[in-house]
Amino acid sequence: MKTATKDLLAELTHDFPAVKFVSSDQFRWSPGDQTVSYDPAKRGTEASMALLHELSHALLGHSDYKTDFELLKLEVAAWHHAEGLAKTYDTPIDHEHIQDCLDTYRDWLHARSKCPACTEHGLQKNSSTYTCLNCHAEWNVTSERFCRPYRRLTASRVD
């Protein structure tokens, strides 16, 4: 980590003692143990922004979500909050990087909501099931956020 990122980590550790910061191979927020994981191999502005973003999840009390769209809303809120923290900690913020990060969630949501039967987009019924407004097909999606969005039809189409 660059010295600036290390300095930021030291400040955040001091200013937010209720949040644990632990070294990991990725940046993430774990609400169960109130831990922000960070990758010490990452450097510069992107690492600082990721650190502020994950801390923002903690400060906003993000713990769970029920729908894919709710997850996207949590991500937007965390990035918005991170922008404020960046000003407080005099840390550069790259708005294009933020949009690129949010685009990964938007693309993920777009892929999951696409009907495997007719390719129109459907609505999420519950955490693992979508239904198509066009052909009425239902399909299951994985609960994993960081994997390919597999879609499997669950029942025959109702015409």
pLDDT score of 156: 47
CB 142 within 8 A of CB 150: yes
- Shortest CA distance to 56 belongs to which of 32, 74, 38, 33? 74
CB 121 within 8 A of CB 113: yes
pLDDT score of 157: 47
Distance CA 121, CA 32 (A): 33
pLDDT band at 145; cut points 50, 70, 90: low
Domain locations in the chain?
3-110, 113-153
CATH code for the domain defined by 3-110: 1.10.10
Averaged over 143-159, what is the pLDDT?
Answer: 54
pLDDT in tens, 63-117: 999 999 999 999 999 999 999 999 999 999 999 999 999 999 999 999 999 999 9
With a cut of 80, say whether residue 11 has pLDDT above it: yes
